[in-house]
């Protein structure tokens, strides 16, 4: 692969904005991703809001951040496509400066089905986005953050799911399997780059009241399954964002390879 080309004078440097830590959130336009972008901006990050299709939602997150005095940009990329991922990271390099943090949040679910009803196209879509997309983005982040590559360190948080340990029988076994892969990837990468200034952790949300349930054909799923949660309510995107921001922060400086369950006890 050809060496990546990075603009020698980032736009943020010309505008005097490079003092902020730079964060990229994949799938940052809605749900947990949007909540993470907004909270990160409040805490001083310059935020790159990735989106794959809904430019309006990403632009709205950027608008809210800027209206509060923060720095943000929307960046289009399908994380399952390597060329688009490379272009996204190059855009962040050029406009915001060297990356300090990554949240691998982009993910897809599908309609509830048994495994014997699923087809290969569904599995390929699920794993290409949820697993390969996270690996691609983490690879590019490590190339920028790791001291081995001349970086000054950084943090990665992968968004997994409590489904990874429950299996989601009769609903989303493929989704649960993709998130279990994220858990294993988190542990392996954390150990691999632990001496290179890069911390890698994961958050495992439980049933969270976001739009992802509607994309799987069950818009009322979070409320309908509340009885399965020890706290008897679904979580909010803001509660997951708070956990993510803690793992990114210096308060978690001795935490790597951790998988934090945020599922109301589930």
One of 45, 51, 172, 175 is an active-site residue; which one? Answer: 175
- Cβ(139)–Cβ(84) under 8 Å? no
- Confirm whether 175 is a catalytic residue: yes
Residues known to be catalytic: 175
């Amino acid at each position: 692969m050809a060496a990546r080309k990075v603009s020698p004078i980032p736009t943020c440097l010309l505008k005097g904005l490079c003092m902020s830590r730079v964060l990229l959130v994949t799938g940052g336009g809605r749900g947990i991703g949007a909540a993470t972008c907004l909270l990160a901006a409040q805490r001083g990050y310059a935020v790159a809001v990735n989106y794959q299709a809904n430019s309006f939602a990403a632009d709205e997150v950027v608008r809210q951040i800027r209206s509060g005095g923060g720095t943000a940009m929307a960046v289009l990329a399908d994380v399952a496509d390597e060329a688009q991922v490379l272009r996204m990271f190059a855009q962040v390099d050029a406009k915001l400066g060297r990356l300090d943090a990554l949240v691998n949040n982009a993910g897809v679910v599908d309609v509830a089905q048994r495994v014997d009803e699923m087809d290969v196209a569904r599995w390929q879509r699920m794993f290409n986005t949820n697993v390969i997309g996270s690996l691609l983005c983490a690879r590019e982040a490590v190339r920028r953050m790791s001291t081995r590559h001349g970086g000054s360190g950084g943090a990665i948080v992968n968004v997994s799911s409590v489904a990874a340990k429950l299996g989601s029988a009769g609903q989303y076994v493929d989704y649960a399997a993709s998130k279990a892969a994220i858990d294993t990837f988190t542990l392996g990468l954390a150990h691999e780059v632990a001496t290179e200034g890069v911390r890698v952790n994961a958050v495992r949300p439980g049933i969270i009241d976001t739009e992802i349930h509607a994309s799987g054909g069950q818009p009322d799923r979070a409320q309908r399954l509340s009885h399965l949660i020890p706290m008897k309510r679904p979580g909010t995107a803001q509660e997951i964002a708070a956990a993510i921001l803690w793992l990114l922060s210096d308060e978690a400086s001795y935490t790597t390879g951790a998988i934090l369950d945020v599922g109301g006890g589930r």
